[in-house]
Structure 1
């Protein structure tokens, strides 16, 4: 049976340090825009090496709690990242993040063309031999990783798609510019979940961070089903609301 000391040992030291510093920031020990103690001072305080301290500080940076100024140190963010993301039939990630006063960014991590799994094929009403493009996209707000997306696009609607994704900024802007296609949401499902090890690594979060998993299907103006997306948003940074159409 695992003892209490074993449970404590199971928590990485840098996570403990990050939790202490975050708690102090929340309580007001460090004010907004105030400089944190230097790495050397934190090493002395926590009796840890510089590598461990840097891991803790990087975790707080990726959480939008502190920022780094080269040669000057780390500072408490003037405006902690707390995004109110609204889903409508025509929501666009880049537009929403820009309206919130942040800078959107998308990083394409992987792309391939293959026969989709059965559940994806059913969602997009594809035949057993019809293939699709699969894109893994990491989305950012103000350089902070916010969401992990896996998107499927039927190849019959987007010939030569992979020739247009090398410098991907906004997926929907590219689809509209290249294919003249505007997408509209027809349904979404929501579920709380935890990240896989790979997702936690890309999102720069501990594995016990809550994620909001949103699965959506989109159609074009001709009512063809043209996109399925599985998006996992960081629950520590983002609140998602649904805007219903006014009658």
Structure 2
């Protein structure tokens, strides 16, 4: 059992919550197995029920466990646990299929407009130059996994919106219609909380972290052709980066 450090000033209930969360992550408790009762935890940590309930409330809020009145606490089952790998040539549909899941996508919105400054700089667009904005919800086994906002310069993809009526895979469409293959040149990573709209589409509570990945892609002619803001569900997948071998 991990010992508690009584020389630090962390509130007792947070310290207990950290111990329990570490044990859960390390596999001490199994799915569908009842977790220790409040009375057992009181005895183990030599604390009162109020402190133990505060600790359990932290884990409930994080979505790590669920409570059944009169039955106790149980671990929350994750519908997916994906190891998602990013490479220079990564395609969402290909990666998800390689993980043994069925990829799909839903186009939520599309429009043509002058993009915000971050996109203009990322794609090195001229002032006032327009781009297509696609808002796409991507799924693995029909479970929403990532919210994408993708920008594509109009000059490279004329009449793009005529080809998005059936968008199972954006990159497959770009390859088939425009003979364009995309390659990642940079990405940034940040943990964020979802907006109300994003949480609704991704079917997560507002307190679940998303992994926000912004990327710029080039084509075979070294043109900057895509700027994407992708927000992945942090409760369902881990993201790793694969570097090119020398």
**TM-score of the alignment, normalized to the shorter chain, above 0.5:** yes
Whole-angstrom CA distance in 1 between matches of 2:150 and 2:113? 13
Secondary structure (helix, strand or coil) at the match of 1:84 reads strand
Name the CA distance, whole Å, in 2 between partners of 1:209 and 1:176.
35
Aligned-residue RMSD, C-alpha: 2.1
| Residue correspondence of structure 1 range 1-247 to structure 2 within 5 A | 27-28=29-30, 30=32, 80-247=79-246
CA distance in 2, matches of 1:94, 1:113: 25
The CA deviation at 1:240 is 0.3
1:1-35 alpha-carbon deviations (Å, 9 max, x no partner): xxxxxxxxxxxxxxxxxxxxxxxxx944638xxxx
Q: Specify every segment of 5 or more residues in structure 2 that has no aligned partner in the other structure, as ranges.
A: 1-27, 34-62, 64-75
Q: Secondary structure at the match of 2:174?
A: helix
Listed one character per residue, the Cα deviations across residues 133-176 of structure 1 (whole Å, up to 9, x for unaligned) are 00000000000000000000000000000000011000000000
Alignment TM-score, normalising by the size of structure 2: 0.70
TM-score if structure 1 supplies the norm length? 0.69
Q: Highest CA radius of gyration, 1 or 2?
A: 2
Cα distance change, pair 29–246 in 1 and its aligned pair in 2 (3 A): closer
The Cα of 1:80 is off from its aligned counterpart by: 4.2
Aligned length: 180
- State how far apart, in whole Å, the 2-side matches of 1:181 and 1:173 are: 9
Secondary structure of 1:91 counterpart: coil
- Structure 1: gaps spanning 5 or more residues: 1-25, 32-59, 61-75
Q: Secondary structure at the match of 1:123?
A: helix
**Structure 1 position 118, deviation (Å):** 1.4
